[in-house]
Structure formats: C-alpha cells, structure tokens
Chains A and B, each alone.
Chain A
C-alpha cells in the first residue's frame, strides 16, 4: 500500500461519506399548499386521464372531502400510444394499465357505468342501482366511438382484408398494424380517413398516414403503393398554418389529399369504400383502409340534458364555459376532457391544462374564494412525420401557435427532438399527470 503523511481515506470511509451526502441531498422535499377542510361530496364520472388526475389533485387540496369516481373500466388506456402500436413501434400492452393503479388513497371507485344524472336533484345513478348525491359533479366519461355509424364495418373485421381502426383499443391497434404490414409488403392503394364529427387527437389520422408512408419507404415498396388521405372538410388540420405545412409535407411524400370526404360505408369483401362528398357519394377501391368512426358524448350525458341545445346537436358535448369548463346552466357541474363542449381540446395534453382549472374552480367554490385559473384551449400534438421525426405542434382556441420552447424547438420543423418527446417523454409526463404531479 502507499505511504503518505496526510490523513488516509480508505474505501470504506469514502463510501460512508458518499452515502451521507446522498442522504442529505434526498431529504429536500416539496412544500405543499395547505389543504382546505370540507365535507363536500364530489362525484367524478370517469376515471380516465381527466378524472384520475383531478382526483389526485383534489385529495391533496381538500381535507375531508368525499370523492367518488364512477367508471366501469378496469383498464386504463394510455391513448396517445395507440398510433405507435398501430405502426409496429410498441406492443399492445404498452398502452394498458389498471385504473386502480393511479387512484389515490381515500377516494371511492365505483366500477359501474353512470346511468343517469339528475342535475336538479344533484344525484348520479349507476347501472347497478346505486344513487349518489353530490355537491360538486365533474363529468369526464370520455367519448363514444360510434363504429356502427360506418355501414358494413364491425370491429371483428379489423386486421383482416386490409381494414385498420387504431382508435378502437390496444388489440385493434395491434390488428391495425397486422393489416398495415400486409399493405407495406404488397403495396396497392392505401386510404386514410377521419370522421366528420369532433374527434380526439385530430393529428392521429395524419400520423398514421405518415408512419405507414415511412414504413413503405423503409421496406423499399413505396413505388408499389398509392396513398390517399380523405379530409372531412376543406383543410388537413384545424389550425390553418399547420394545415398548410401538412399539405406541403403530403406533396413531398406523394400523399394525395381529397377534401370533403367522410366514410359512409365499406364493402369489406370487395375492398371498396363509399364516401359522402360535397357532390354526393364517391366509391374508391382500397388495399388498406384506416377508419376512424364518428365520435359522440356518451348517452348518459345526452339524456341528462347536459349537452348543448344549439351546437353539435348530433354529438351532444357538454354545454360549458370555454375558459372555466363550468356548466352554463348548472354551476356545480364541470366538464373535463373529451366530453367538454369546447372548440378544441380532445387530447391528453389538453386534459393536463384543464385539470388545474377545474381543481381551482372546485377548491375556490369550497373555500369561498375567487378562482383564478382559466383554460385557453391549449392542445398539443407531436405530429409524427416519419419514424424518428415529428413536429411539436401546440396551439390554442384562436389557432395561435403556443410553443413551449420558442426559439429552441420550432413547431413547424420536422425534428428528432420532437420525436424523442413523443416516443419516450410523453408517456412519462402523462403518468406524472395522472398522479397529479405534472
């Protein structure tokens, strides 16, 4: 061993010092706002992204509140992952967890469907016959994918005969990849569609188109394939500046857009789709078709008189204030997530920005203070344009771009860093949001 006159440090002593330093560093904690004491009864219909995140935050902010969630689904789905599953980039179980994994202690989960809401008597009845009274109600049940509205389609067809439908759930997203893989190998005519109704994540049909285009190129089969994208109106995306960018990318990728085309029916045997168009109907043969059905508020919302009477009358979204999400006729009810009748915001990123607003509204109502948070329509869409690149598109109600990293991550550039965010950082941020931490 070596020989010096200065004090010695052995391995063991050094490790002891290091352990002490680590322990010291780990003890710094977060300071939380003092919680508001209450015995309010809060019912949240839906334990998806919105309901779960809100429950976690309310538990921290309120002391003594009776918080009840009503949701029949045992599985929690990380829906932003479905596009990755349908492009063969992630397995189906990537998007699946348990509803109960995310709920805080001290809340009650009733695993039943909400059957009726009486906003005058302030009660919610479940399918199992329970009646819950509430002081505050948050409706966050998500939306209904109306696959039956596409004539000739049933979900058991997905994966066969060139039919894809990635919105329908993880197993269908995986089946979509099966059908798409065949198209990628054999080529032919790929038709990509979207519904005419409001829909969650309006970027997803575009992402699927871009990803399958890229898969064809990687397989060396792009020359054997023709791609058509059917837009429901006269734009490719609701935000004009983004729509123009997508139009240019489609031009670059040789993807042919057709406008004012919504799917009326399919003939799975003949592989033929019929579109409703501005002029009437139009038939198109396909080798692969991606279908996204019309989307509507759940029946319980529409039947309980919570929907707008003069807007989206075929879809039934909740009549609420754009900025506070509070119901316009029943002040003790808030809408959250997909079901809210607001112009934008059917994405998980929107939920992340909506949850603190509803939380603030409810806590302020209980504490008797003035709420200060508002929702400006923030929506984010990491628009994948190929495997390895995306555009981090963020916008608000007014179609303004609101980039999180201005000057560093330009929203309309195809970037690797934006892909990294979608592929690796988004789910982690989502999970943190569910726990009320982001």
Chain B
C-alpha cells in the first residue's frame, strides 16, 4: 500500500460492511457513546451494581464481535496463522467486549435512573 489516509480507511470500512450498514453502525456506536457520556455526567457517579452487569456481558460482546467479523469475511478461527492474526483477533474481541459493556451500562442507566434522594 502506498499511503493509508483517513478517507481511505473510511472507504475500506464502507466496503467491508456495505455503505448503509457501516454508517448505521457508526451512528449506533456514536449514539451509545453519547448515551454513556450522558448518563455519567447526569448521574455524576458510577453505579457499581450496573457496572457488574456490564462486566458480566463482556464475554458475550467479545464472542459476538468475533463471530460477526468471521461471518463477514468468510473466515474461521482456524485461519489464524501468525502473531499479527492473533493480535487482530484479540483486538476484535476486546472491542466487542468494551462496546457491549458500554451498551449494557448505558441501557441500564437510561431505563433505571438512580433515585438520587436516598441512594447517594
């Protein structure tokens, strides 16, 4: 590759998932991230009970992310052939796990806001 610019990267991702699905995923990711920041700022505290559920959901997120990438690219875990493959594989799993944790925490916080009068 001669040069890898930000616009090339965007084009690459559009190609991987299809333009519609890619931008839908970007929007969903942005909305979830904003939602997460919103509840953190609104609540001014992390609820460790909610965080526990978020943590428990992380393995699910990791597996889902790996499955998604494999299915999209006609691949299987047995195709991992070297160190860099393992890094990419684990990177996908970590991103899935963190994404899932943020999603679960945000949904919990939005659905059940803390009763601020007594709780804190």
The answer to whether A and B interact is yes
Looking at the complex, which of B52-60, B76-84, B94-102 is the stretch in contact with chain A? B76-84
Q: A431 contacts B11, CB within 8 Å?
A: yes
- For A391, the closest partner residue in chain B by CB is B81
A2-B114, A432-B11 as given contacts; A419 in contact with B73, CB under 8 Å: yes
Task: Find residues 49-92 in chain B having any chain A CB closer than 8 Å to their own CB.
Answer: 72-76, 78-82, 84-85, 88-89
Q: A428 contacts B74, CB within 8 Å?
A: no
Q: A388 contacts B114, CB within 8 Å?
A: no
A89-B74, A415-B85, A423-B74 as given contacts; A428 in contact with B113, CB under 8 Å: no
A4-B44, A6-B44, A89-B74 as given contacts; A416 in contact with B12, CB under 8 Å: no
- For B12, the closest partner residue in chain A by CB is A428
Looking at the assembled complex, report how far the CB atom of A421 sits from the nearest CB atom of chain B, in whole angstroms: 8
- For A88, the closest partner residue in chain B by CB is B74
Q: A417 contacts B88, CB within 8 Å?
A: yes
Does A127 sit at the interface, judged by CB under 8 A? no
Question: Which of B15, B73, B75 has the most CB atoms of chain A within a 10 A radius of its CB?
Answer: B15
Looking at the assembled complex, report how far the CB atom of A383 sits from the nearest CB atom of chain B, in whole angstroms: 13
Separation of A438 and B12 alpha carbons in the complex (Å): 12
Q: A353 contacts B73, CB within 8 Å?
A: no
Q: What bracket does the count of chain B residues touching chain A fall in?
A: 35 or more
Does A327 sit at the interface, judged by CB under 8 A? no
Separation of A409 and B35 alpha carbons in the complex (Å): 38
Interface residues of chain B: helix, strand, loop or mixed (majority)? helix
Looking at the assembled complex, report how far the CB atom of B89 sits from the nearest CB atom of chain A, in whole angstroms: 8
Q: B79 contacts A416, CB within 8 Å?
A: yes
Q: B34 contacts A15, CB within 8 Å?
A: yes
Q: A429 contacts B8, CB within 8 Å?
A: yes
Does A413 sit at the interface, judged by CB under 8 A? yes
Task: Find residues 358-402 in chain A having any chain B CB closer than 8 Å to their own CB.
Answer: 386-389
Separation of A89 and B117 alpha carbons in the complex (Å): 59
A419-B75, A428-B14 as given contacts; A18 in contact with B85, CB under 8 Å: no
Looking at the assembled complex, report how far the CB atom of B44 sits from the nearest CB atom of chain A, in whole angstroms: 7
Q: A352 contacts B2, CB within 8 Å?
A: yes
Looking at the assembled complex, report how far the CB atom of A351 sits from the nearest CB atom of chain B, in whole angstroms: 11
New A-B contacts (18) at CB < 8 Å, excluding given A9-B38, A432-B7: A2-B114, A2-B116, A2-B117, A3-B117, A14-B34, A388-B74, A388-B76, A388-B79, A414-B81, A415-B81, A417-B85, A424-B12, A424-B72, A427-B15, A428-B13, A429-B11, A432-B8, A438-B2
List 5 tightest A-B contacts by C-beta distance, closest first: A388-B79, A2-B116, A428-B15, A428-B12, A416-B85
26 contacts between A and B (CB under 8 A): A2-B43, A2-B114, A3-B117, A4-B44, A11-B38, A14-B37, A15-B34, A89-B74, A352-B2, A356-B2, A386-B79, A388-B76, A404-B1, A409-B84, A413-B82, A414-B81, A415-B81, A416-B81, A416-B85, A419-B73, A424-B12, A424-B16, A425-B12, A428-B15, A432-B8, A437-B8
Instruction: Identify the B interface with A (CB < 8 A).
Output: 1-3, 5, 7-8, 11-16, 34, 37-38, 41-44, 72-76, 78-82, 84-85, 88-89, 113-114, 116-117
